[in-house]
Amino acid sequence: MTRYRIADDVAWVSHEELDADSLPSAYVARVPHGPPTTLEGPACVVWLALAEGGSRDEIAATAALMWGIEADEIRDDVLVLVEELVALGLASTG
């Protein structure tokens, strides 16, 4: 089973840490080469779930719980987003 996590050379901050009253967002960048990426709403929730690590099903379950929906509703979208984050070098497997 493939497990995902945030890549070692990535720095990030969640907007929730900066302003808890707004829509969740995260500012993410590979350091020192960037470029910065902003993940908002559901994409941020997936990022926060990815920060805990796990398989795609575990990440989908965590994100669904955070967003207050069923994991089956977002499982396919979570996989697509996580694979895009891997392609960008923001997430890794292992």
Rounded Cα gap, residues 55 and 34, in angstroms: 26
Decide if 59 is inside a domain: yes
pLDDT reported for residue 20: 57
Q: If pLDDT is split at 50, 70 and 90, which confidence band does 16 have?
A: low
Q: In the chain, how many domains are there?
A: 1
Amino acid symbol at 51: A
Q: Which domain holds residue 15?
A: 4-88
Burial profile 65-89: b = 16 or more Cβ within 10 angstroms, e = fewer: eebeeebeebbeebbebbeebeeee
In a domain, 62, yes or no: yes
pLDDT digits over 36-52, tens only? 999 998 899 899 999 99
> Residue 65 domain-assigned?
yes
- Is 93 within the bounds of a domain? no
Residue 94 falls within a domain, yes or no? no
Average model confidence (pLDDT) for the chain?
Answer: 90
Residue 73 lies in a domain: yes
pTM comes to 0.87
